[in-house]
């Protein structure tokens, strides 16, 4: 009869309820996995975390974040491009639709302002010229609660909604008190 594993095991002398505790020699595949994973973890830690020979998750994240931010800042448009969309009723209509879906919650249905400022007066916190409005809508003002819309909506929709916002400019509706400065740099009353 073949030797059973427990026959070769060391009896620890511990007995509980008539059951003997044996100290079996662990199978090689188990020992290999056990020590192998420890060695792997140490090598991994050394390469990726401690010596920095290979990029850590944190550094990969920082790199991707920097690339994303650079892409955001590179978002650019000329005043002429927006002016052309303002003159295109279809683009303005598309922009109005986007505004109704995404912007009214904070800026109000007539853009008179709620959580966000009134977009219909001539005073702007971040500038009311086409390029400034485009930049505010694209990159947002995260710390004030204005979303960066370009990653969600894409550039084309942002351009259309900016064109729509430009058509609202200086057609003031009742709403939130003016904030910011006008084009001449005078502070809002």
Q: Which of 39, 67, 115, 177 touches ligand HEC by CB under 6 A?
A: 115
165 binds ligand HEC (CB under 6 A): yes
C-alpha 81/C-alpha 171 separation (Å) is 22
Instruction: Using the rule CB under 6 A, give the single segment among 3-11, 29-37, 60-68, 134-142 that binds ligand HEC.
Output: 134-142
C-beta closer to ligand HEC: residue 14 or 171: 171
Site for ligand HEC in 54-113 (CB under 6 A): 99, 102-103, 105-107
- Joined together, the tokens standing for residue 98 give 């986007």
Phi, psi for 10 (deg, rounded to 5): -80, 130
Instruction: Using the rule CB under 6 A, give the single segment among 9-17, 20-28, 68-76, 135-143 that binds ligand HEC.
Output: 135-143
Residue 145 · residue 106 · CB < 8 Å: yes
Instruction: Using the rule CB under 6 A, give the single segment among 28-36, 39-47, 49-57, 125-133 that binds ligand HEC.
Output: 125-133
- Joined together, the tokens standing for residue 41 give 């973890």
C-beta closer to ligand HEC: residue 9 or 181: 181
Residue 89 · residue 96 · CB < 8 Å: no
C-alpha 3/C-alpha 107 separation (Å) is 81
C-alpha 17/C-alpha 98 separation (Å) is 74
Residue 77 · residue 161 · CB < 8 Å: no
C-beta closer to ligand HEC: residue 14 or 144: 144
Applying CB under 6 A, the residues found at the interface with ligand HEC are: 99, 102-103, 105-107, 115-117, 119, 124-126, 133, 136-137, 141, 144-147, 149, 161, 165, 179-180
């Amino acid at each position: 009869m073949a030797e059973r594993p427990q026959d070769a095991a060391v009896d620890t002398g511990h007995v509980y309820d008539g059951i003997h505790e044996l100290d079996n020699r662990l199978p090689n595949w188990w020992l290999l996995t056990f020590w192998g994973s420890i060695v792997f973890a140490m090598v991994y830690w050394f390469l990726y975390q401690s010596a920095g020979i290979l990029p850590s998750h944190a550094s990969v994240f920082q790199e991707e974040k920097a690339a994303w931010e650079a892409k955001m800042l590179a978002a650019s448009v000329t005043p002429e491009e927006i002016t052309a969309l303002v003159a295109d009723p279809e683009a303005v209509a598309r922009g109005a639709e986007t505004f109704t879906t995404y912007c009214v919650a904070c800026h109000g249905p007539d853009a008179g302002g709620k959580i966000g400022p009134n977009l219909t007066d001539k005073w702007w916190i971040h500038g009311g010229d086409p390029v400034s409005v485009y930049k505010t809508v694209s990159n947002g003002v995260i710390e004030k609660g204005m979303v960066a819309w370009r990653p969600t909506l894409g550039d084309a929709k942002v351009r259309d909604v900016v064109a729509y916002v430009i058509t609202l400019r200086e057609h003031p509706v009742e709403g939130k008190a003016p904030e910011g400065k006008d084009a001449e740099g005078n502070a809002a009353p």
